[in-house]
Structure 1
Amino acid sequence: MKVLLIDPPIQVWELMGDCCAPPLGLAYIAAVLERNDIPVELIHCNGMNISWKDLPRLIRKSSPDILGTGAMTPMFSGAVKLVTMAKEIDPQIKTVVGGSHVTFTYEDTLRQIPEIDIVVRGEGEETIVDLVKCLETRSDLKNVKGIAYRNNGNITVTENRPPVDVNSLPLPAYHLLPMEKYHFEFLEEFSTMLTSRGCPFSCTFCSEWGFWGRPWRARNPESVGEELEIVTRKYKRKSVWFGDDCFNANYNHIKGICEQIEERDLDVQWFYQGRADFLIEYRDLLPLMQKTGNVMTQIGVEASTNEGLTSLNKKVSVEQMKEAVHLMKKYDIVSQGLIIIGTPEDTKESILHKIAYMKSLKVDFPIFTMFTPFPGSIVYEKAKEENLIEDFDFDHFDMAYVVMPTDKMRRDELFRWYGECHREYYSDPLQILTGLLSRNRFKRAIWRHMFRYGLKQAIRMYRGKGKYRL
């Protein structure tokens, strides 16, 4: 059986600027299919400059038996549009959708969208191989772990699949992708990688720890080093974003990757998302990290008080946040901090406090994200149960749109104050001048981008465009 994997055209969050990154999830799926001698094609529409109008021709040309795609919540409508298109072309095509969104909404998904035949729940690499073999031999789908499907009008859910051994997986099928096309607004030639899966924590606003399961699993440093060498030498990528949910969860993991970069003499600048408490605990690694190319670190600040952090089950303190940012400045590592606006207890006063707090932290680049109850998160179940979500259009679940009010603020009020966060920080003349004149060229590049973004948003707000989204 032939499998066609498609990452459909998507609109990138405007804050990211001109950005195009490889679809790692589908690249891993393609790699395991190839290893099992299953014919596969991979189409990345954004990377290959393929529009919705182009897709019918390409699907017909491929003539697949199975069409697969994946989607996070704000991209789900694109997945639905894709499988609907495939069924119109050939109703016999088996459509398979995976990813975090359908993992947690499989029942509603299968009941509401008949064009989706099978949902893959959780990690898909082992599941897709078993599924293809099952369909090829016309065996009973109930023997395939980790899926859900319709069966005589009912939804059948098979046994959960255990977390995959990340060191058993092949490297992503980069040869099927236009690697030369991947870029980021303020970076040189760019790509992404995963060095671990999962997270050892359970923040209430996050669904990723539920999707990847327990425990946190790290790849061998040698495997990461091999992939880094391929990405930087073969594909000429100069910048790599480690997209792990918690890259810095283990001392030896970080140290091993840094040593691989040194041993292989790789010239790469790299970035990651991690936790403030681990950054402090493993502070003796910061010189090595900086030496081997760690130019920026993103931490989840999330709240401006310890009470707020506790309500999010963050298990970190504001004091630790301050120490972590101080350490990054000491080693000239650009700091990016994400803080959530619009939590249920937020008021105008608490939002002003968050703005002041981010200024006091001296984070180089704060990212103000809108509180979004993603399916699979603890807050989603609570918000759904209490009928707090006013907008169930999943296109709007992108952390830049207001889908629910707070206890004391309407959505339109919240939107105005969300915009104020960006204006207050990114229109500050001293902040702008300091950033644009920084000795750190990476920081200068980001500030140029953020200044343009902030100016555009200020004009949009002034003209009154957009009611609930920046």
Structure 2
Amino acid sequence: MLKFLFVQHENENIGVEYISAALKSVGHSVELAFFPLGSNLQAENQAIIKKIEKYKPDFACFSPFSFQFPWSLAKAKLIKENYPELFILFGGVHVNSVPDVVMEEKAIDGILLGEADKTIIEFAQNHEAGDITKTRSLWYRKDGGIVKNPTAPLETDLDALPYPDKDLFYNSPLDPIKRNMAYTAVGSRGCPFACTYCSNNVYQKLYLGQKRFRHRSPENVIGELEMNLAKYHYPRVEFADDVLAIDIERLRKLMDLYKEKVNVPFACFFHPRLVNEETVKILKEGGCTWFKLGVQSANENYRKTFLNRHETNEQILKVSELCRKYSLQFSFDHIFNLPAETKEHLIEAVNLYNECRPTIINFWGLMYLPGTDIIQTAIKHGSISEADVPAINTGQHDLSKLNLVPWYDNKNAQINTSAFMLLFVLISLLPKGIIDWLMKIKFYDVKFQIPNIVLVPLKVLSKIKAGQGYLYYSEILGYFIYSYQKINRAITRIWKIAPTQN
């Protein structure tokens, strides 16, 4: 039996849960060192060292997204400095995006490319046999160079994989805060689309010529949900699939089983091109309470040319009408600071969204993900330069950070991004006629920034109005738990060092 220690930051990672389940299915041991947001750097380092001393793992493993890579690399260096013989293995989205960049870091002994459910078992078996070098998808160091083994093909039978190991994170510090929010499930892998800004753009290149979109059977998905409902009593489900279904018959069967055996509210993602009235009706009857649609830009030509998205505004309007017809709450996703974005594009967005009247408009700034096509588009149009790419490829650039929306785009200062952000929030709160009036008086041309002290409370109010206040309750609960623990530790230290009074 081999021991694998995963070191993870911020959030539950479904990929790690699947890898853990795969390893445990063949008798290996897996433990987790998990650090939610708000953790103290020194305390993190001490906890990692303490965990290694106690667990004595054979491998230390990381699976970061790009914005998490600097944190993961710092922890890998800490481990390598203290345990130079411990093999450090990386995988995940960032690794698949820029494997050569990752392997420039000497603290990292190897990486596994692609989906690793089978190759991690192969890696463990080969290690026990004394030779990891034959492991498919493995890149490793040898004689001062890097050996790059061929990437294993995608797994086609997802039902053959064990259910994700939810215990790994649910029995960690994630438990009191996130676990009571929703159970995150994935009923498929891959995406039938290849938007230029998305990590699926990278996987399209990695698995060129293979069928990337694969799905589990409805029985397999429901089996997982039913088993863990009995264990965790979760109040809702978040389907994290890029697209929940493209096959209407599979969707119907999935929803019939879900209603019968799970029957808690759920949310899911869909693409506007894949939605019709039957889809919305089936979802509503199955228990869907939140329907998520990516739009990103309201200009059809821009979406097609820059983002490789080919839906029409007519399709987006139709989906909105269907959601209202079936009383299904729905949200749009919008990206600010896109390359060559103009004020006119944002004006179109306000007008389109005000016509559609989604329950919520979620927005954030464009995160430049390494290896995606939009990076070269942004360089061509002057949004970034070639000099920015190294920082993007290591997750250190400002525009690699999660949800960063600058108030003003320095390269296009005539756009007051904050004014458009406020208009997006107000669409969820105010009647259509008021938004039309604000557009008529060109509110978006105000010369001052709309401060966070205005935007954040209104955003929270819009979430509460939409019945999503629980998202903020959990964050507040987490903050108070963390603050209480910190204060309690401080009081304990003071009590221990206080002089004894006679």
- Category of TM-score, reference length = shorter chain: 0.7 to 0.9
Q: From the CA coordinates, give the structure whose radius of gyration is larger.
A: 2
1 CA distance for matches of 2:327 and 2:420?
25
> Is residue 436–residue 444 contact of structure 1 (8 Å, CA) maintained in 2?
no
Counterpart pick for 1:29 among 10, 19, 32: 19
Letter in 2 for 1:278: L
**Cα distance in 1, alignment partners of residues 30 and 89 from structure 2:** 14
Cα deviation, residue 140, structure 1: 4.9
Shift of 1:65: 0.9
Q: Is the 8 A contact 2:97 2:370 kept in 1?
A: yes
1:456 is aligned to none
Which of 60, 65, 79 is the matching residue for 1:72? 65
Q: Contact 2:92–2:113 at 8 Å: present in 1 too? A: yes
SS in 2 for 1:445: coil
- What amino acid maps onto 1:253 in structure 2? R
Q: Which of 115, 137, 154 pairs up with 1:123?
A: 115
Structure 1: segments with no counterpart, 5+ residues: 11-20, 454-470
Q: Residue 7 and residue 381 in structure 1: after superposition, are their counterparts in 2 closer, same or farther (change >3 A)?
A: farther
* 2:36 is the alignment partner of 1:46: yes
Of 148, 154, 165 in structure 2, the residue corresponding to residue 163 of structure 1 is: 154
Q: Say whether residues 1:326 and 2:318 are aligned partners.
A: no
Residues in 2 aligned to 1:326 and 1:102: alpha-carbon distance in whole angstroms: 41
Distance 1:134 1:338 in 2: 44
Distance of 2:423 and 2:147 partners within structure 1: 51
Superposed CA RMSD: 3.4
Q: Are 2:145 and 1:154 aligned?
A: yes
* Distance change (3 Å), C-alpha of 1:314 and 1:178: same
The superposition leaves residues 228-248 of structure 1 with CA deviations (integer Å, 9 ceiling, x where unpaired) of 112222211111111111213
- 1:178 is matched with which residue? 170
TM-score, normalised via structure 1 length: 0.82
Residue in 2 aligned with 1:3?
Answer: 3
Amino acid of the residue matched to residue 360 of structure 1? E
The amino acid that maps onto 1:269 is P
Q: Does 1:135 align with 2:138?
A: no
Map of 1:314 onto structure 2: 309
2:275 aligns with 279
Aligned mates of 1:48, 1:236 — CA distance in 2: 27
1:378-397 to structure 2, matched below 5 A, reads: 378-383=373-378, 388=385, 391=388, 392=391, 394-395=395-396, 396=398, 397=400
- Which of 63, 68, 83 does residue 76 from structure 2 map onto? 83
User: What residue in structure 2 maps to residue 293 of structure 1?
Assistant: 287
Whole-Å Cα distance in 1 between the matches of residues 117 and 410 of structure 2?
A: 43
Q: Determine the C-alpha separation between the residues in 1 that align with 2:267 and 2:192.
A: 20
Per the alignment, residue 215 of structure 1 pairs with 212
| Counterpart AA for 2:138 | I
SS across alignment from 1:299: strand
The number of aligned residues is 430
From the superposition, tell whether residues 334 and 66 of structure 1 become closer, same or farther in structure 2 (CA, over 3 Å). same
Q: Note closer, same or farther for the CA distance 1:327–1:446 as it changes in structure 2 (3 Å cut).
A: farther
* Structure 2 CA distance for aligned equivalents of residues 381 and 121 of structure 1: 23
- Residue among 252, 256, 261 paired with 1:255: 252
State the AA in 2 paired with 1:398: K
Separation of aligned partners in 1, 2:215 and 2:329: 25
Query: Which whole-Å CA distance do the structure 2 matches of 1:95 and 1:246 have between them?
Result: 34
Contact 1:328 1:335 in 2 (8 A): yes
Give 1:219 shift.
Answer: 0.2
Q: Helix, strand or coil for the counterpart of 2:416?
A: helix
Give the AA of the match of 1:287: K
Secondary structure of 2:85's partner? coil
Residue 448 of structure 1: how far off its partner (Å): 9.3
Task: Specify the code of the residue in structure 1 equivalent to 2:285.
Answer: K
Once residues 275 and 435 of structure 1 are traced to their aligned partners in structure 2, the CA distance between those partners, rounded to angstroms, is 24
Contact 1:69-1:97 at 8 Å conserved across structures: yes
Structure 2 residues not aligned, in runs of 5+: 432-454, 477-502
Structure 2 contact 331–358 (Cα < 8 Å) conserved: yes
Give how far 1:92 is off. Answer: 0.9
The equivalent position to 1:241 in structure 2, one of 226, 238, 241, is: 238
1:322 match: secondary structure:
helix
Instruction: Give the TM-score normalised by the residue count of structure 2.
Output: 0.77
After the TM superposition, which of the residue ranges 340-349 and 392-401 deviates more from structure 2?
392-401
Q: Distance in 2 between matches of 1:353 and 1:105?
A: 35
Amino acid at match of 1:319: E
Among candidates 336, 356, 359, match of residue 331 of structure 2? 336
CA distance in 2, matches of 1:42, 1:23: 11
**1:60 equivalent in structure 2:** 53
Work out whether residues 435 and 447 of structure 1, in 8 Å CA contact, stay in contact via their aligned partners in 2: no
Q: Secondary structure at the match of 2:292?
A: strand
* TM superposition shift of 1:49: 7.6
Indicate if the aligned counterparts of 1:269 and 1:295 stay in contact, CA closer than 8 A. yes
- Tell me which residue corresponds to 1:398: 401
